[in-house]
């Protein structure tokens, strides 16, 4: 019953929104989560905009917004789709406080640069490549940081289990001797 309650609670939209708002602000894992989400989003956008049939940028942002599960990114992509459709600068949407927390700085700068040059699809493609490389680097950095912590934790757990087994044998030995 408790498992069902936890599962039901974590599926609620208010919980998901709170979790997706809080997670990117965590010290070690936050930038990694932001980069992971951005890499996925702009990888899909790069595929959509590379098709032989030139897709409108607003339509591409809209398609990715529909596919996105994270409500914060979904809102940001929907705003970008509206801005592209209405021909308003993407910088205005990207520089809002909530979107600054969602996307890494390079995403905002590359999209603004692509908009100024008049070639947003090319900027999206370059951004997808850059984010993929950045994600690989960030994952390597994160694993090198977390690896010693895991080794020490496992050593402490194994040592604790060893001490518990030793105490059990010591108490069995004293009980067998009669003391």
Within a domain: 2: no
Instruction: Look at residue 156 in the predicted model and tell me its pLDDT.
Output: 98
**170 vs 15, more confident:** 170
Read off the pTM: 0.76
Within a domain: 164: no
Residue 121: which domain range?
A: 23-147
Within a domain: 171: no
Using the predicted structure, report yes or no on whether residue 54 has a pLDDT greater than 80.
no
Q: How far apart are CA 47 and CA 60, in angstroms?
A: 10
Instruction: Look at residue 7 in the predicted model and tell me its pLDDT.
Output: 65
Within a domain: 137: yes
What's the pLDDT band for 12 if we cut at 50, 70, 90? low
Mean per-residue pLDDT over the chain, rounded:
86
CB neighbours of residue 24 within 10 Å: 19
CA distances to 115, 122, 131 from 111, in Å? 6, 10, 13
Q: What is the mean pLDDT of residues 131-157?
A: 95
Within a domain: 65: yes
Instruction: Look at residue 150 in the predicted model and tell me its pLDDT.
Output: 95
Q: How far apart are CA 43 and CA 37, in angstroms?
A: 10
Instruction: Look at residue 94 in the predicted model and tell me its pLDDT.
Output: 86
Cα-to-chain-centroid distance, residue 55: 26
Total domain count for the chain?
Answer: 1
Here the CATH number for the domain that contains residue 27 is 1.20.81.30
Q: What is the pLDDT of residues 58-109, one digit of tens each?
A: 999 999 999 988 888 898 999 999 999 998 888 888 888 777 778 888 998 9
Instruction: Look at residue 32 in the predicted model and tell me its pLDDT.
Output: 86
Instruction: Look at residue 30 in the predicted model and tell me its pLDDT.
Output: 82
Using the predicted structure, report yes or no on whether residue 20 has a pLDDT greater than 80.
no
Within a domain: 108: yes
Instruction: Look at residue 138 in the predicted model and tell me its pLDDT.
Output: 92
Q: What is the pLDDT of residues 104-128, one digit of tens each?
A: 889 989 988 998 998 889 999 999 9
What are the tokens at 100? Answer: 């600054």
Using the predicted structure, report yes or no on whether residue 168 has a pLDDT greater than 80.
yes
Within a domain: 173: no
Within a domain: 87: yes
Q: How many residues does the chain have?
A: 179
């Amino acid at each position: 019953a408790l498992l069902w309650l936890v599962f039901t609670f974590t599926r609620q939209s208010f919980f998901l929104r709170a979790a997706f708002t809080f997670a990117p602000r965590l010290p070690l894992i936050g930038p990694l989560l932001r980069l992971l989400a951005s890499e996925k989003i702009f990888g899909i956008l790069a595929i959509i905009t590379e098709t032989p049939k030139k897709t409108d940028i607003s339509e591409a942002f809209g398609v990715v917004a529909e596919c996105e599960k994270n409500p914060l990114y979904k809102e940001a992509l929907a705003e970008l789709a509206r801005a592209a459709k209405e021909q308003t600068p993407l910088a205005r949407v990207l520089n809002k406080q909530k979107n600054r927390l969602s996307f890494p700085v390079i995403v905002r700068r590359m999209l603004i640069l692509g908009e100024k040059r008049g070639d947003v699809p090319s900027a999206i493609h370059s951004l997808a490549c850059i984010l993929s490389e950045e994600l690989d680097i960030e994952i390597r950095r994160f694993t090198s940081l977390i690896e010693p912590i895991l080794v020490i934790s496992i050593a402490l757990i194994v040592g604790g289990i060893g001490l518990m087994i030793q105490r059990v044998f010591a108490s069995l030995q004293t009980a067998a001797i009669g003391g």
